[in-house]
A = this chain, B = another copy of it.
C-alpha cells in the first residue's frame, strides 16, 4: 500500500480527499437539490502561511526526544474535525496552536510529561486521533495558561495481552481502529466498535468520550465493553481490576469514561471482545407513515430481540442517503451472531414491522441451511460509503456548504415532539442566517425506553460566514433539544462546544462532585482546561 499522509486541515488522509469524478458527481447531486448554491471550491492555505504563534515554552532536555514543534504538526493538533474546525482551517484561522506536540513512547513518559506540566502550570490536552467534533482537543484557553501541550498518544498503539478464554485484551490507548482490529484478527477476535471515525480515532479517545459504535442495541457505548482501565492522573496511576461485573462502590471506571481528558490520561484498557460474526440476517422495511415507523421501531426495541442494526431513516434521510423514496421512512434491520443462525430473530422483527404496516420491497436476507452468509456486496458498499462521508463533508465545506450533524437521545414518549421542535428550530435558524437546505433524521441506536436520533443539516452558506451561520443553527437546535427533554449529546461528547448546554443538563450536586474530584486528582487543573468543568470562581 502506498504511504499516505494525514491532512492537517481536513478529515483523514490527503490522498483520499474527494477529487475528480467523485467531486463532480457530488457537486452535481447538490446542484440538483440546491440549484442556487455557489459551489466554488476553496482550498486551505499552506501551513507556512498560517503565521503560527511561536512556541512559548521549551521542553526540558529529558523530554525533547518526544516533542515536536513542527508547524504542520502543531496546526494539525489545533482543531478537531467538526465542520467549524475544517472551515476555520480552510480560512487559515489557526490562532491558538499547542506550543508543543508531545508523543510519549511509554507510560512513564506520560507520567513525566504530566509532572513537568504540573510543575510549570502548563495545560495538557490528551490527544488520540483528533477526531473530536465538539472542540474537545482545541487549546481554547483564553490566556489562562502560559503554554499548552497536545499529548498525542499515537505511539502507544499495541495490543499487549489477549485472554482468549474470557475474550478480552489489554490494549494501549493510542491505537487506531484499523491497527487494533489487525492485531486482534490473529486471535480471531474483534472489538467490533466501529464509529464513523473508526479509521482516524483511537481506543483512548473512544473511552474518554464514551463513544458509541456498531451495535444499535445493548452494547451501544464503548462503556459496556470495558473490563478495566489504567489511567495516569497527576495524583498517581489508577488501575482498576479486571472484572466482568462488580457492586463494590460506585463503578470506578465510570468516573473516567466520559471524563474527556480532564481527570487523567487513559493509557491502557482491558476490553471485552467478540468472535467475528458468521451468521447474519437483514432486511430493509419501508413505511408510508413515519409515526407508525417509529412505533414499529419501538416495538422491536422493546421485544428483547437485540438487533445489531436497527436504524430508522426518516423520509428525507432515506431519500438523501439511501436513495429510497418513501413517505414514512426506511427501517434498516440487521442481526448477527458468531454462534447461531439468526433468522428466527429477524423473522420476528420483520413480523413486528408488518404488524405496523411496514413493507419489504426485497425479501429479508438471512442464513440458510447451507451455512452462514458472508457480508453482502451491498453491505460492503454501505460501509465504505459510511466511511467516505467525512471526506465528502470536507469537499462540501470547501464549497461554502453548511454540512454538519448533531445527535441526542430521549424517551419514546417525547420523541415526536422533540423531532418536531428540532426541525422547526433548525428551519427557523436556517432562514435567519439566510441559508437554504434540508434537515434529516435517523436513529443510530435504540433502547427499550427511547431512541438516539441523529440529525443531518445540508444547506447553502456564504463563504466566509458558514462558521457563524452554523454556530447560530447549532445554538438554536441545542436549545430545542434540551427544552424537549433530550441530552446535549448521545455519543459526540461535550468538549468545549457543548459546555453551555451540558452545564444546564448536569445536576448541580454532580457538578460540585466532579469539580472536587478533579481538584483531587489534578490539583493544578492542567488537564484539558475548559472541558466539562471549571474551578470554583
Interface of A with B (CB < 8 Å)?
163, 165-168, 209-212, 218, 220-221, 223, 227, 231, 233, 235-252, 254-260, 263-264, 272, 275, 298, 302-306, 337-340, 344, 348, 409-413, 445, 447-452, 485-494, 498, 502, 505-510, 512-517, 519-521, 532
Known A254-B250, A513-B521: A245·B490 in contact at CB below 8 Å: yes
Q: Is the CB of A494 within 8 A of B411?
A: no
Interface pair B245/A250, CB less than 8 Å apart? no
**Distance A254 CA – B259 CA, assembled complex (angstroms):** 13
Identify the 9 closest CB pairs spanning chains A and B, nearest first: A244-B450, A244-B447, A516-B520, A513-B517, A238-B507, A516-B516, A210-B247, A303-B339, A254-B254
- The smallest C-beta distance from A252 to any residue of chain B, in angstroms, reads 4
Partner of A249, one of B238, B494, B520: B494
Residues of B within 8 A of A507 (CB): 237-240, 252
A-B contact pairs, 12 of them (CB 8 A): A212-B245, A220-B245, A239-B507, A243-B411, A243-B450, A243-B487, A247-B258, A247-B492, A250-B258, A255-B255, A306-B306, A513-B520
Residue pair B409, A243 in contact (C-beta under 8 Å):
yes
Q: Pick the contact of A409 from B245, B275, B516 — CB < 8 Å?
A: B245
Inter-subunit contact A244/B410 (CB<8 Å): yes
A493 to chain B, nearest CB (A): 6
Cα A251 to Cα B226 with chains together (Å): 14
If A249-B502, A304-B339, A516-B516 are given as contacts, then 6 extra A-B residue pairs at C-beta distance below 8 Å, sorted by A number, are A165-B413, A240-B510, A248-B488, A272-B448, A302-B339, A304-B337
Residue pair B212, A248 in contact (C-beta under 8 Å): no
Residue numbers in B under 8 Å from A508 (CB-CB): 235-236, 238
Closest to A532 in B: B249
CB distance from A250 to the nearest CB of B (A): 5
Q: For the complex, give the distance between the alpha carbons of A514 and B412 in Å.
A: 34
Q: Is the CB of B254 within 8 A of A260?
A: no
Q: With A272-B448, A275-B302, A302-B275 known to touch, is A485 a contact of B247 (CB < 8 Å)?
A: no
Choose from B244, B303, B412 the contact partner of A166 (Cβ within 8 Å): B412
Q: How far is the CA of A514 from the CA of B248 in the complex (A)?
A: 13
User: Could you tell me the distance between the alpha carbons of A339 and B344 in the complex, rounded to whole angstroms?
Assistant: 13
Q: Find out whether the CB atom of A258 lies under 8 angstroms from the CB atom of B249.
A: yes
Alpha-carbon distance between A249 and B499 when the two chains are bound, in angstroms: 10
A247 touches B211 (CB 8 A): yes
Distance between A59 CB and nearest chain B CB, rounded to angstroms:
26
Question: Quick check: B410 and A243 within 8 Å, CB to CB?
Answer: yes
Closest B residue, CB atoms, query A488: B248
Contact in complex: B452, A264 (CB < 8 Å): no
Chain B residues with CB below 8 A from A447, complex form = 244-245
Residues of B close to A260: CB separation below 8 A: 249
Given contact pairs A167-B302, A247-B212, A340-B303, A509 touches B236 in the complex (Cβ within 8 A): yes
Known: A413-B163, A512-B235, A515-B520. A257 touches B252 (CB 8 A): no
B residues near A490, Cβ cutoff 8 Å: 245-247
Contacts of A520 in B (CB 8 A): 509, 512-513, 515-516
Measured between alpha carbons, how far is A413 from B244 in the docked complex, in Å?
11
Q: Determine the distance from Cα of A347 to Cα of B220 in the docked complex, in whole angstroms.
A: 27
Q: How far is the CB of A329 from chain B (nearest CB, A)?
A: 19
Cβ–Cβ contact A514 & B250, under 8 A: yes
Residues of B within 8 A of A248 (CB): 258, 487-489, 493-494, 498, 502, 505-506
Distance of A520 Cα from B263 Cα, bound (Å): 17
A340 cross-chain contacts in B, Cβ below 8 A:
303, 305, 348
Nearest Cβ distance between residue A488 and chain B, in whole angstroms?
6
Closest chain-B Cβ to A450's Cβ sits at a distance in Å of 3
In the complex, the answer to whether A251 meets B258 with C-beta atoms within 8 Å is yes
Taking the closest CB of chain B, its distance from the CB of A28, in whole angstroms, is 36
Which residue in chain B gives the minimum CB-CB distance to A351?
B340
Looking across the interface, which residue of chain B has its beta carbon closest to that of A304? B337
A485 pairs with B242, CB closer than 8 A:
yes
Which of these, B163, B237, B494, B509, contacts A264 with CB under 8 Å? B509
Q: How far does the alpha carbon of A103 sit from the alpha carbon of B513 in the complex, in Å?
A: 27
Nearest chain B CB to A532's CB is how many angstroms away?
5
Q: How far apart sit A220 and B244, CA to CA, in the bound complex (Å)? A: 11
- Complex CA–CA separation, A227 to B244 (angstroms): 22
- In the complex, what residue of chain B is closest to A348 when comparing beta carbons? B340
Asked if B255 and A510 make an inter-chain contact with CB atoms under 8 angstroms apart, the answer reads: yes
CB distance from A175 to the nearest CB of B (A): 20
Chain B nearest CB, measured from A230 CB (Å): 9
Q: How far apart sit A526 and B438, CA to CA, in the bound complex (Å)? A: 55
Nearest-neighbour CB distance to chain B for A512, whole angstroms, equals 4
Given A166-B412, A238-B507, A507-B238, CB of A244 within 8 Å of CB of B452: yes
CB neighbours of A532 from chain B (8 A): 249
Whether B517 contacts A245 by the Cβ 8 Å rule is: no
Asked whether A409 and B244 contact (CB < 8 A) given A235-B512, A507-B239, the answer is yes
Closest partner residue, chain B, to A416 (CB atom) = B165
Contact A249:B514 (CB < 8 A) given known A243-B450, A272-B449: yes
